[in-house]
Amino acid sequence: MLNGLDIEGTSPLHRMPVRGKLIVLFTAAIGLFFLSDLRLLLPALGLAAAVFLSTGIGLAEAVRRTRFVLFTVLLVAAANYVIVSPHEAAVVLCRLSILVLLAAAITATTGISAFMDEIARLAAPLERLGLVRAADISLAVGLVIRFVPEILARYHDIAEAHRARGLPLRPLTALVPLIILTLKDADTIALAIDARGFRRH
Amino acid sequence: MTTRDLVLVALFAAIMVVLGLLPPITLGFIPVPITAQSLGPMLAGCILGARRGFLSMLLFLLLVAIGLPVLSGGRGGFAVLAGPTGGYIVGWAFGALVCGLIAQRLVREGQNEIAQIAAFVAAAFAGGVVVVYLFGLVWLSYATGNAFLPAVAASAAFLPGDLIKVGIAALAGRAVLAGYPLLPQRA
């Protein structure tokens, strides 16, 4: 039910290792905010858009994914236009848009299993310190994906129960049973996990 | 970490995902429909406590980062985190932590109902509003550069809806405490 936002493809960005992509994003997040020269930022914006489209995502889907965030970027730039200066507005617009487009490109070209492998690698030093187990993180992610449909179905059951009683569906009367019923399952699920020896170390 | 705690953390992150799939709530007196998802951190802190609440919201942040469309509206991935509102999503984890810390300290099983609800309101407000807004505004100010005050002003528009959510979270926290207590009691 929950499909990742990555898409199939063989673009250079697809073939780049996850750690490299994360470093690029991190460097951009810091480096962009030192640049104020529009002669550098505008071509960089074009480059970021080109990189995003080169992933093979298609213009319609690219717009659909980023329009909400880019709209907030536009609002922020508009605030800068009014409060500070048109130049600053253009600079802010470029910086944030470049960051958003690069981020979207990385999300589109990195699969969930690739991310999980990288997380396991990154968690290795924390594992040695005894803080967290990489296997636990993967298990937790797997549990979420597995149980979302069930919890959603439970919500619909609760909504129907409201209708059957002629009660309006209010946040409080819907969420409390949902949370209690879901969390009550925790013991059974934990038993099942331990019975299968998933967390045997 | 016990397996039960791990499962509770994962289940609450899953509840957070479902909150994003619910249609926005339209309350009579506020014209803008409010999404249920920002209730999540306050519920996590009030119900699971500080540590598990923090971890469940951190797990949710991880799900967003790896590209699952779990934010309301089917959004996800780094683009949302890199955008102006990314700080709020990181703030959810620390909001749940602070909310849980206050709830654990103030709420006692034997207290009367009003005192418990008041404690949950304090916890939900401190965590779900103050801490979340702090993280959100810090990233927003980094992103906007100079125009910080309009960002604060714009955020104030969301305050009425968020205050209602504080109330909902406090009442829900109290109801869950009565029905299936999970909040660790620590002095």
Looking at this protein, which amino acid is placed at residue B173? G
CB pairs under 8 A between A and B: 211
| Chain A contact present for B153, CB below 8 A | no
Question: Do residue A33 and residue B67 have CB atoms under 8 angstroms apart?
Answer: no
**The pLDDT of residue B187 is above 60:** no
Question: Do residue B142 and residue A33 have CB atoms under 8 angstroms apart?
Answer: yes
Of A65, A80, A180, the CB nearest to B144: A80
**pLDDT-derived band at B186, boundaries 50, 70, 90:** low
**pLDDT-derived band at B74, boundaries 50, 70, 90:** confident
**pLDDT-derived band at B30, boundaries 50, 70, 90:** low
The CA distance from A191 to B7, in Å, is 10
Chain B residues whose CB is inside 8 A of the A176 CB are: 172, 175-176, 179
Question: Do residue B11 and residue A65 have CB atoms under 8 angstroms apart?
Answer: no
Percent of all residues in chain A with a pLDDT value above 70, rounded to a whole number: 99
Tens-digit pLDDT profile for residues B122-141: 999 999 999 999 999 888 88
Residue window 9-48, chain B: list those with CB within 8 Å of chain A: 9-15, 17-18, 21-22, 25, 36, 39, 43, 47
Domain spans of chain A?
A: 12-110, 133-195
**The pLDDT of residue B147 is above 70:** no
Q: Give the Å distances, CA to CA, from A90 to A54, A77, B85, B123.
A: 25, 7, 19, 41
What pLDDT sits at residue B121? Answer: 95
Following CA atoms A91, A94, A100, A104 in sequence, which dihedral angle do they give, to the nearest 10 degrees?
-160
A162 against A170, higher pLDDT? A162
Tens-digit pLDDT profile for residues A62-75: 888 888 889 888 88
Residue of B nearest to A65 (CA): B75
Chain B residues whose CB is inside 8 A of the A2 CB are: 17, 68-70
| Chain B contact present for A162, CB below 8 A | no
Give the three-state DSSP class for B150. helix
**pLDDT-derived band at A201, boundaries 50, 70, 90:** low
Average pLDDT of span A185-198: 91
Candidates B166, B163, B172; CA nearest to B47 is: B172
**pLDDT-derived band at A29, boundaries 50, 70, 90:** confident
**The pLDDT of residue B11 is above 90:** yes
Percent of all residues in chain B with a pLDDT value above 90, rounded to a whole number: 59
A84 against B19, higher pLDDT? B19
Interface mutation target, options A30, A74, A80, A107, chain B, most CBs of B under 10 Å: A107
**The pLDDT of residue A90 is above 60:** yes
pTM of the model: 0.92
**pLDDT-derived band at B98, boundaries 50, 70, 90:** very high
Can you give the three-state secondary structure of A76-96, one letter per residue?
Answer: HHHHHHHHCCHHHHHHHHHHH
Of A82, A148, A194, the CB nearest to B18: A148
| Chain B contact present for A97, CB below 8 A | no
Percent of all residues in chain A with a pLDDT value above 90, rounded to a whole number: 43
Smallest Cα distance from B187 to chain A, Å = 24
| Residue found by looking up tokens 């957070």 in the block | B16
Interface mutation target, options A3, A51, A173, A183, chain B, most CBs of B under 10 Å: A183
Average pLDDT of span A164-169: 91
Average pLDDT of span A106-123: 90
Instruction: Find out if CATH 3.40.1390.20 is the number for domain B3-179.
Output: no
The CA distance from A93 to A76, in Å, is 8
Quote the longest CA-to-CA distance of chain A.
Answer: 65
Give the three-state DSSP class for B34. strand
**The pLDDT of residue B44 is above 90:** yes
What pLDDT sits at residue B33? Answer: 65
Question: Do residue A176 and residue B2 have CB atoms under 8 angstroms apart?
Answer: no
